[in-house]
A and B are shown apart, each in its own frame.
Chain A
Amino acid sequence: MKFIVSSNTLLKSLLSISGVINTSNTLPILDDFLFELTKDGLMLTTSDLETTMSVQIKPDKSEDPGAVTIPAKILLDTLKTFPDIPITFTIDPANFGIEISAQEGKYKITGHNPKEYPKAPKLEEVKPIMVPSQVLGRAFQKTLFATGNDDLRPVLSGVFCEFTPDDVVFVATDAHKLVRYRRTDTKADESDSFILPKKPLNQLRNILSQEETDVKLEYNQTNARFTFSNVQLICRLIDGKYPNYESVIPAENPNRLTIDRLALLNSIKRIALFANQSTHQVRFKIVGQELTLSAEDIDFSNEAKERLTCSFEGDDMEIGFNSKFMLEMLNNIDEDEIRIEMSAPNRAGILVPASKTEVKEDILMLVMPVMLGK
């Protein structure tokens, strides 16, 4: 097995899939890239048993099709030092010895038997749906930050995808904050839903936003497969029932605050520096058309207060939020003005863009307050 490939092309492709590799693996071969050379091209694969990601590239020259696995770290570290030059890989199928030659250099490493590399699961009885890469990339980008990390509630560590004949909805929540991202320009033939784990989505998020193509998303009861351009990703779905997110979105929200997003963002950033650094709690007090943000850290006698003008309809109120959540949410909205809709100090607040720039897109964020003392 032998091929010549541009170092830059190879490095770029390997980096796009290397995030799948876990830092510590029980199966040593999972520390490797799987290289498979066929007459169609060179297929590069990584896996952590849950997720398998492949990218296909065209080598400049190739002979003797075959396969081998190459230790990922040393290969990446080597490739990163090269300028864009052609590199020759020569693999001895008998002992999986790999010889890399570039310019005047020769480098030898030992790979492993590709037959030992875990196979990606075969997907049977799949249902397909086509989604534009930009839509999918944006949906993941807007929702991933809100996913949870609690091992006890695995369903919350993923993004819930719901397809209907009217729209597609992506939801993420960690039980304190929630994002619902809806697109009306993409539809499915029949209604269906599943939960995608966050790790593969983080991989896809960056690649998808650079593509302008349609992604073929196929899924069954246990797995999902994304196919687009030269990339294929297969991941296991999170098993379990996603909580009924619609029921926690308060319907009646008579108190509505409209404010400049950046002004609020910067104020919270400043005020949060003075809040307790474990709980990050910031108090919102709205009186008339004035919003007062305040925080204090009793242990260090730190205190801060800031006034902002806003437009507010409803009854004066006081409500406390974790500033971390607020900042994450405000950072993930693109519009200049946002609206916070609230009903009571101990009920969830809704955060939405005040006006829509993208007509086909509907984004809604929800954040649970803290139980303020009297």
Chain B
Amino acid sequence: MLSIARHIVHLDLDSFFVSVERLLNSSLNGKPIIIGGTSDRGVVSSCSYEARKFGVSSAMPMKMARTLCGDAIIIRGDMELYSKYSHMVTDVIAERAPLFEKASIDEHYVDLTGMDRFFGTLKWTRELRKTIINETGLPISFGLSVNKTVSKIATGEAKPNGELEVPGEQVRPFLSPLSISKIPMIGEKTYRLLRSMGVVTIDTLSHIPPEMMEKALGKNGKVIWEKANGIDGTPVIPYSEQKSMSTETTFEQDSIDVVRMREILVKMVEKLTFQLREQQKLTACVTVKIRYSNFDTHTLQQHVAYTSFDHILIPLVKSLFDRLYQRRMLIRLIGVRFSKLVSGSQQLNLFEDSTELVNLYQAMDRIRMRYGRKAVRRGVGI
């Protein structure tokens, strides 16, 4: 398969969260915007290009971002909304692309290998991009090349709101002058290490013997070397169903307020079980996670018969939490995860699930579907 020249497209929505916010509120256009946790402990999850000029970048602590760009409009962010828009984009791609992978909420890979015989791949991708922009109103960039790594780097160069094709023979000339930080696998640490070795451009990196890379960086060394040479055999893996769903909360201040935490857990379970039922899924494994103030993280999980019912999962999560929280120490974060998901509907129980109970669930879910997830909630979870 590798012998055939491949055509891989990487599509990336430009500052996705910001674009969604701007779509709903046009007064945000042209202003520096930061999206992320609004408290001092939050981190930046996305920021507009205007904010990037001030040195703000994603994953930066919010406190630092505020200092850098005091004028920025800070938005809490609504993941539910973003994933809705992300789904819209995925739907557009799914309708047209033969084989695609959803790499993250704002990134997709499409494998166009073989399609070049019938359509111009660049023309086809341009049309796809135009359709996405027309149907969702979100700016998107793409890179088209021979494998995932080069396409992704190309997208990075094309942004914002641009496109770039790097054909096979252009791969090396394209990569050579770029900074090594453009390679997706190279994070801050690797970057510093390579810089200390005197490596600045991808060109230099690609000339280092692979054995030496392996010695310096371990197993990843060879992969990074291959990427620097424009080699990447990883296939585009078709979009697959979600295998787990989870939610977690970091407290404003580390806490030992167990009563409040149990309330938060109820709220989390309620949110996730509704998601389960909305997507017609059931879970068979429940995990509770806590992180103490010293960053020690503990999890505890338990298997259950396939279910999506609150009244089964809430007591289970509470009991897992009680068993997990053993040390008299402040807690920084708690979370709940449902895994081993399968699609299907809840099997009802002869003795426990009365008609009234089932009707109650169905009525609540109907209200939620119409007026939003928070329209009906348990008293303790508010």
Interface residues of chain A, those whose CB is within 8 Å of chain B, are: 173, 175-178, 243, 248, 276, 278-279, 281, 297-299, 320, 322, 344, 346-348, 366, 368-374
Contacts and interface: CB of A to CB of B under 8 A. Distances in A.
A80 to B, nearest CB: 39
17 contacts: A175-B352, A176-B347, A176-B350, A276-B344, A278-B342, A278-B344, A279-B306, A279-B343, A298-B241, A298-B343, A346-B355, A346-B359, A346-B362, A368-B350, A370-B346, A373-B277, A373-B345
B39 to A, nearest CB: 37
A299 B241 contact: yes
A368 B351 CA distance: 10
Contacts of B282: 279
B350 A276 contact: no
A178 B355 contact: no
B306 A371 contact: no
B310 to A, nearest CB: 13
A326 B107 CA distance: 44
A348 B351 CA distance: 11
B349 A176 contact: yes
B295 to A, nearest CB: 36
Given A278-B306, A344-B355, A347-B355, A374 B350 contact: no
B116 interface: no
Nearest to A344: B355
Among B241, B342, B344, B362, max chain A CB count under 10 A is at B344
Given A279-B282, A279-B306, A346-B358, A370 B345 contact: yes
Interface string B344-378: 11111111110100110110001000000000000
Contacts of A322: 347
A175 B355 contact: no
A297 B281 CA distance: 12
A175 to B, nearest CB: 5
Given A175-B350, A175-B352, A346-B355, A370 B241 contact: no
A368 B349 contact: yes
A84 to B, nearest CB: 49
Given A279-B306, A299-B241, A368 B348 contact: yes
Contacts of A366: 350
B220 interface: no
Contacts of A344: 355
Contacts of A347: 355
| Interface size classification for chain B | 20 to 34
A326 B214 CA distance: 59
Contact of A372 (B240, B284, B345): B345
Interface of B: 240-241, 277, 280, 282, 284, 306, 342-353, 355, 358-359, 361-362, 366
Nearest to A248: B350
A176 B342 CA distance: 19
Contacts of B306: 278-279
Given A344-B355, A347-B355, A276 B347 contact: no
B367 to A, nearest CB: 13
Contacts of B345: 279, 281, 320, 370-373
A172 to B, nearest CB: 12
Given A278-B306, A346-B355, A368-B350, 6 more contacts: A175-B350, A298-B241, A299-B241, A366-B350, A370-B348, A373-B345
Q: Which 10 A-B pairs have the closest CB atoms?
A: A279-B344, A370-B345, A278-B342, A371-B346, A346-B358, A368-B348, A248-B350, A175-B349, A243-B351, A298-B343
Contacts of A298: 241, 343
Contacts, number: 70
A366 B353 CA distance: 15
Given A346-B348, A373-B280, A276 B366 contact: no
Contacts of B352: 175
B342 A279 contact: yes
Nearest to A243: B351
A158 to B, nearest CB: 15
Nearest to B352: A175
A286 B306 CA distance: 27
B213 to A, nearest CB: 39
Nearest to B366: A374
Nearest to A250: B355
A372 B362 CA distance: 10
Contact of A299 (B343, B351, B362): B343
A175 B344 contact: no
A175 B358 CA distance: 16
A369 B343 CA distance: 16
Contacts of B344: 276, 278-279, 281, 370
A276 B343 contact: yes
Contacts of B277: 373
B341 to A, nearest CB: 10
Contacts of B353: 368
B260 to A, nearest CB: 30
A151 B358 CA distance: 26
Contacts of A320: 345
A294 B213 CA distance: 56
B350 A173 contact: yes
Contact of A369 (B348, B359, B362): B348
A239 to B, nearest CB: 19
A281 B366 CA distance: 22
A248 B366 CA distance: 27
A366 B348 CA distance: 12
A347 B366 CA distance: 19
A222 B366 CA distance: 50
Contacts of A175: 349-352
A64 to B, nearest CB: 56
Contacts of A346: 348, 355, 358-359, 362
A279 B306 CA distance: 8
Contacts of B280: 373
A344 B358 CA distance: 11
Among A177, A370, A374, max chain B CB count under 10 A is at A370
Contact of B348 (A278, A371, A373): A371
Contacts of B361: 371
Contacts of A173: 350
Nearest to B357: A346
A87 B284 CA distance: 54
Nearest to A371: B346
Contacts of A297: 343
Contacts of A369: 348
A194 to B, nearest CB: 19
A248 B351 contact: yes
A322 B351 CA distance: 17
A277 to B, nearest CB: 9
A243 B343 CA distance: 30
Among B280, B348, B349, B352, max chain A CB count under 10 A is at B348
